[in-house]
Structure 1
Amino acid sequence: MKTRTLAAALILTLSLGTGAAQAEDKVPADILNVSYDISRELFAQINPAFQAKWRKDTGQSIEVKQSHGGSSKQARSILEGLPADVVTFNQVTDVQVLADKGFVRADWQQAYPNSASPFYSLPAFLVRKGNPKNIKSWDDLVRSDVKVVFPNPKTSGNARYTYLAAYAFALEKFGGDQVQAKDFIRRLLANVPVFDTGGRGATTTFVERETGDVLISFEAEVKGIQKEYGTDKVEVVIPPVSLLAEFPVAVVDKVAEKRGSRKIASAYLGYLYSDEAQDILAKNYNRVSNPKIAEKYKAQFPNVRLYTVELFGGWDNIRKIHFAEGGILDQVFEKK
């Protein structure tokens, strides 16, 4: 009797153990990538390519779902419950706020190459056909006859890069004089007729509503708009000096652990560094660090002298000095 009882218990234990292992190994049929506002078309190309590779490698069909919005707004949504498996943002601070709250691992920038930034860009200009206002650099954006369109730096990572690029230019122009640099930014912000919450809204304002003389957005975005609408309507102007814009990625550990999606989430972000994905990124006017792909597309990327956020002491300093409540942005921001 004891023998049969022990045998039954052993069988039950083995059965439960096998079931637990299978449940642990089971990968969800979908993941959610929460991304910045103007990346819709980019991931509409990347996701099917990744899905095909995953199916080929594992035999499993999966779906990559997307959520788009202003990068900072997206980060807040995750903190409030949006179940992102991965984030592909356009600003380090928006990933860091998730790390500070325990949603993302503390050393997330060591998880992938190039400080977890698989591609990069820079703020650039889009003007009307023929560039009637002769806009060439940041200096032209504070003229009284120029109206500038870009999103709200309080809600958009895209706009924060614009703000920092303009600030870097002003510091150079005025020999590091902070008072004059702040006044330059005040004049720039005063020339913005409307602040949309994200980059795509700003694009709509400029192109479809025909508001403003110049749109400032990532180089990839303005070149994509030019391709879509044609050079008979808009033209791209790359300023001679700008700011390096990183596009950080991370697994949202808190969600991935709960859903059991870590394996596919990690593979998805790793795929962004593959030759295949880097080619898609460069084809869509994003700059990449992959030497082979960068060489293939070098003709479409003019040389630009790029500042980095280290000019401002890094993102921690930027967040405290410029974007915190009562910071420089608040000091120069005129309410619309």
Structure 2
Amino acid sequence: MIVIHAIWDHLQSGELHLWAESSSPIGSTAQRHGKQTERQHPFTLPYESLKEAISELAGSLLVKSASPSTISLLLPSTARGPLSSPELIFEKEPADLNATGLRPWKIVTLALDPDSALDFLLALPNYAPHGTAFGSSLRFWTEAARFAFELIVRQSYMPALEETRQGGVSIYRAAWQAVLVGEDAERVSLLLKAMPPVCWAFLPDSEMKPSMLQNVLLSFLNCTLDAFIRESLSSTSLLPARPGRSTRSQKVSLPEQWLQALSSEDAVLVAPPAELQRFSATLQGWLDQIRPVETDAAFRTCFRLDAPGEDNGKSSDWRISYQLQANDDRSLLVPAEMVWPGGKNPRPAWAQN
């Protein structure tokens, strides 16, 4: 049998690495203990066999978009080699099951970009086919993918401008990011508590801290969400048509570049560093004003749009009213004038404070 695992590596460009263990060692003992392959995981499937196994689950079309890769994982090991995952069943139980520590092992993987990773995880069946098992890491990232898709469906995201450093130079990239407040923030916390240790086995010892685990999960959510939205907008321009509008270049203003980059494969903005820095500060100030903020308040303010004839009698005018809305039940609305100081009507309990 084989067990399929998944690792999200956020340290590079964001890739989902798929790999598989076999209940039978791959290669001879001499090969496994040779100098050149002493750190090669002895039970990991070779690339061609891995491609075949993934093709049976997701189809050959998705596998064609993947690329061969390797990743180093720190795994519980004995003096003889790495411990097998709990899902792997052997005809004969291994003699030594007590780990003596963590050792790095080279793993052959099939790497998927964020868009393909989301497609693969959402298409996985609930139960693995005969002779195959889904490892805890694959099941975890499948759950995270479903959460990412829920955020997309509920439109719980907003545009952003991300800054990264490459060779001492700031690179500014337009991106879509998840908005995680309220129940969504709680769900992130629950996912972090449920994250199997193998999901962060690729991290160096120096980076093994709780904040890094959150970075891994947030990277997955943001990268897959960004890839999905970007692909959905690939044939749509976020800018109104204008005669003589040029393509992406330094002649295009930075606000226009940013809007174009949100629906383009080329997400990097191009301009002199000082201009990029000023634009980033201005844009962040604007985005901070519209970004939802986590609060413990019992209510929030909102506007309600009433169609003609609903509350306005025979009037043909649309009417906008300022309301208070209960955070724990969005169906509860109270006109702001009811709770304003000096208002004649009693306030509901949830709007008292």
TM-score category of the 2 structures, normalised to the smaller one: under 0.3
The structure with more radius of gyration: 2
When you count strand as a share of all residues, which structure comes out higher? Answer: 2
Provide TM-score, normalisation by structure 1: 0.20
